[in-house]
């Protein structure tokens, strides 16, 4: 089971970096990490990232029961999404849900972000699938996301945003930023006749590199 050293600090620092990178607005999006004891530390609901402090973070168990609730905060409204990912994948230590503009455009069109940039395949395992729609905050969001995340580092959430998984928050944030950058590139490539997918062999080789990095 993958866990994150200094998980509280990693979640808080990455949350603020996510805002600085423009991958969320206001209090949208959320970050979590797995603690060595198997419980989950996550960002709270409805707290501005600029103002967020260590005392705002919430710890829950894998059933969603609140174990630490400093300053009376509640866990993120998308905690069911995070917990579904942790229950499904023992090899991840962090989950990020974000609403980056270009990736969300693909999510609203129910279209995958294509593997047209080799770096994407290396860090996500290939094209970023779009999960089936489920209402925000419902168990269905997590259930559908887990299906779309099988063998991948990221998935789009239909009409909503995206989710990414990985070993620790900073590396997962890199995946979020890469998916957003690739979505913008793919959109622009459409003006030139459409993005050309990577050759199948290259995509398979890079996907193999992703699986190897994920296991480390």
In this prediction, residue 146 carries a pLDDT of 98
Strand-pair category, 30-34 with 161-166: unpaired
What is the share, in percent, of the chain residues with pLDDT greater than 70? 99
User: At residue 189, does pLDDT exceed 90?
Assistant: yes
Which residue, 94, 83, 89, is CA-closest to 141? 83
- Estimate the crossing angle of helix 169-190 against helix 101-108, to 10 degrees: 70
- Rounded CA-CA distance 210/175 in Å is 11
Per residue in 56-97, pLDDT (tens digit) is: 999 999 999 999 766 778 999 999 999 999 999 999 999 999
Under a CB-based contact definition with an 8 Å cutoff, are residues 62 and 86 in contact? yes
Per residue in 29-43, pLDDT (tens digit) is: 999 999 999 999 999
Listed in sequence order, the residues at least 6 apart from 124 whose beta carbon sits closer than 8 Å to its beta carbon are 152, 153, 154, 164, 175, 178, 179, 210
Helix (H, G, I), strand (E, B) or coil at 130: strand
User: At residue 207, does pLDDT exceed 90?
Assistant: no
Structure tokens at 12: 């808080």
What H or E segment, with its residue span, contains residue 33?
Answer: strand 30-34
Structure tokens at 191: 């003006």
User: Which CATH number is associated with domain 7-215?
Assistant: 3.40.225.10
In this prediction, residue 35 carries a pLDDT of 98
Per residue in 156-173, pLDDT (tens digit) is: 999 999 999 999 999 999
Under a CB-based contact definition with an 8 Å cutoff, are residues 94 and 174 in contact? no
- Rounded CA-CA distance 33/36 in Å is 10
């Amino acid at each position: 089971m993958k866990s994150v050293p200094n998980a509280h600090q990693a979640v808080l620092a990455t949350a603020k970096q996510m805002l600085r990178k423009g991958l969320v607005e206001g209090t949208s999006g959320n970050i979590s990490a797995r603690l060595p004891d198997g419980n989950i530390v996550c960002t709270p609901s409805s707290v501005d990232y600029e103002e967020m402090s260590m005392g705002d973070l919430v710890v829950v168990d894998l059933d969603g029961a609140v174990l630490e609730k400093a300053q009376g905060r509640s866990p993120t409204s998308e905690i069911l999404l995070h917990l579904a990912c942790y229950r499904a994948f023992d090899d991840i230590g962090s989950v990020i849900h974000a609403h980056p503009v270009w990736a969300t455009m693909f999510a609203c069109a129910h279209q995958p972000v294509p593997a047209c940039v080799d770096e994407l395949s290396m860090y996500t395992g290939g094209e970023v699938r779009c999960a089936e729609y489920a209402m925000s905050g419902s168990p269905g969001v997590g259930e559908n996301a887990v299906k779309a995340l099988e063998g991948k580092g990221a998935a789009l959430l239909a009409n909503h945003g995206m989710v990414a998984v990985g070993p620790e928050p900073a590396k997962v944030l890199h995946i979020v930023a890469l998916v957003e950058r690739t979505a913008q590139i793919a959109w622009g490539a459409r003006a030139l006749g459409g993005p050309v997918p990577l050759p199948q062999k290259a995509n398979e080789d890079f996907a193999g590199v992703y699986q190897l990095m994920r296991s480390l």
